[in-house]
Amino acid sequence: MIAVTGSISTSTITDWIRAIIDLGKKTPHDLVNEINDVLTEVDYLRSERNILIHGLWVTPGPENSVIVSTAKLGRNEVIRERVVTAVDLRDLIDETLEVASKLRSLVKNIVPVG
């Protein structure tokens, strides 16, 4: 038996969901594609969030922005810098709310209520 807890990473959970729906041959193909599309968006947003949360913020950047630096071994560009504005942050929040809405809608269509 496996228990999903709050200490499991989001990327692990999205991988599990993908594996489970691939195993469920009864899941309609269109629904599998829709779930995979939303999970891809979740993974992208998680990556964007991690850059902003775990990156080093250096101020000031050009024109009311900050420079966020991240370091990661194993990629061509070990240290990466990115200019971030308040508009970028608002856009990420809006995208996150939109994907959350898509997820709620999918769950309502998949999980029987009652």
In a domain, 2, yes or no: no
Q: Which amino acid is at 7?
A: S
Mean pLDDT over residues 41-62, rounded?
89
Residue-number span of the structural domain to which 57 is assigned: 10-110
CA distance 93 to 28: 31
Provide CB contacts within 8 A for 84, sequence distance 6+. Answer: 52, 61, 65, 66, 67, 68
Q: Tell me if 82 is assigned to some domain.
A: yes
* Cα first-last separation, the chain: 25
- Determine, yes or no, domain membership for 64: yes
Tell me the pLDDT tens digit for each residue of 72-104.
Answer: 888 888 898 999 999 999 999 999 999 999 988
For residue 4, tell me if it sits in a domain: no
Q: How many domains does the chain have?
A: 1
In a domain, 3, yes or no: no
Average pLDDT along the chain: 83
Q: What is the mean pLDDT of residues 5-19?
A: 78
3-state secondary structure of 86: helix
